[in-house]
Amino acid sequence: MNLRLELTRFLKLCFVLSSAFMFWKGLSVATNSHSPIVVVLSGSMEPAFQRGDVLFLWNRNERSKVGDIVIYEVEGKSIPIVHRVLREHHSVEKKKQLLLTKGDNNAGNDIPLYAKKSLYLQKERDIVGTVKGYIPQVGYITIWISENKYAKFAMMGLLGLSALLGNE
């Protein structure tokens, strides 16, 4: 066992991880959104988006338009929701904008999903980003891993195996 070789390998691993992290955070800064790439988790926007589709977000717009598909997070609920803007009311002078959303595949609007007693979302506070780009299905693996308890072990096993076999 060569200590220097092991250390170099460890350094390489650190480099890969940190560059991935930097890429993610850089994208966050560029798009002004804390999660610039998301995976669709529900079928409420079908047939536009299915579970596992990957969406690219942008959050540097000052106001949302009607028809925009936005991701929002309601205070106290941790799950981000992808739905379409049905109505918008904004002030000409101030920055404030109120939005009502609805899932294409849902019968009614999203008022039951909002925080208690509120009828609208606030653009500044609740919106994580607006959907700009779309890639189908490639995010399904993350859903599979998070929802299947054996998938995690399979991933671990695969990683371990590749580490063992990976000696050049």
The tokens for 81 are 């929701």
CB of 120 to other proteins, least distance (A): 9
Cα separation, 5 vs 10, in Å, equals: 9
Interface with other proteins (CB under 8 A): 47-49, 65-69, 84, 86-93, 98, 104, 108-109, 111, 117, 119, 131-136, 162, 165-166, 168
Cα separation, 117 vs 166, in Å, equals: 57
CB of 29 to other proteins, least distance (A): 21
Give the nearer residue to other proteins in terms of CB position, either 75 or 104: 104
CB of 165 to other proteins, least distance (A): 6
Q: Considering 44, 53, 64, 126, which one is annotated as catalytic?
A: 44
CB of 142 to other proteins, least distance (A): 17
Q: Considering 33, 64, 83, 126, which one is annotated as catalytic?
A: 83
DSSP secondary structure letter of residue 111: G
Q: Considering 33, 53, 110, 126, which one is annotated as catalytic?
A: 110
Residues found in the chain: 168
Task: For residue 94, give the 3-state DSSP assignment.
Answer: coil
44 is catalytic: yes
83 is catalytic: yes
> How open is the CA angle 46-50-52, to the nearest 5 degrees?
165
Give the nearer residue to other proteins in terms of CB position, either 78 or 162: 162
Cα separation, 20 vs 30, in Å, equals: 15
The tokens for 90 are 């904004």
- Among all residues, which ones are annotated catalytic? 44, 83, 110
